[in-house]
Structure 1
Amino acid sequence: MSETKPARVPPRWVVRSAWAVHRGIYRGSGGRLGLSRPRGNKYGLLRLTTTGRRTGRERGVIVAYLLDGPRYTTLAMNGWGEPEPAWWLNLKAHPEARIDLGGGPQPIRARAASGDERVRLWELWSTVDKNLDGYAALRSRETAVVVFEPL
């Protein structure tokens, strides 16, 4: 049985700056750069558009994903910080949303995986990041594994 190494996460300002640069590249290229499909042992990046839980306005974010058959999965982590990501709170309030993989928007319905499905999908994500459990241990709550089901 292998032991989980203590996780080291960059300071919050580094994480936020990196994502701001990524969003800038995506916007500056008109959506031509910044999204990718999973390849080998690497996750892909998609654009998720949710409805704001308070404002009702559209909110966009780029998230990592893996494929699970026809479904897309992601982790509801906020740079491994304590608070839940706003996009996940928005999806809990309004589960119908859109994803874009670079070929135009696709409508989806989001839900949290539970039970055996969550365990299986967590293992899938663990193949991409061997220290996933170490990062998850930085949070006091369980990290949701989110499933996007195409509509």
Structure 2
Amino acid sequence: MWKLDLDSDFFRILDKDRNIAAYFWPDYGQIVPENKYDEIVEKMHKNGDAIPGGFLTVPMVKFGLFANNLEVDVLQLSSKLEDANARIQVWKEFLLEQHMQHSIQMSHTDNDMLSLTFPIKFQQNTSLDKAKLLAVLSPTLDALSQRGLL
């Protein structure tokens, strides 16, 4: 159901309809020297080097309020905020159940959306091979999807 698309030093995670569902930022460890970062990361991918995990960034909530020239009345505003709050509550329950460390930030692609990033630690180091990464990321992606969070 999921597909990984490498872009520089991170992966876009695409759903079955080829829409971006999430981003995965591998933990490459300490890259030295820093000025050779791109070259070293590219070589790590070519060699299929193993990594301990990384960070998953997913869309958390879209408000539908922060578009240019948007005009709404108080009922529409209230409805959009209630919808956003309901989505936040689902995330809150999931995060508390899973005891997940996380951070929330404005989406880098949509100023009307918040994104949630959390660390993923693999049970064993996993190759930067797309199929192998997908095998270890899919259970988390599937769980989020089943809860309606992706």
TM-score grouping bracket, smaller chain normalisation? under 0.3
- Give the structure with the higher percent helix: 2
- Give the structure with the higher percent strand: 2
**Higher Rg:** 2
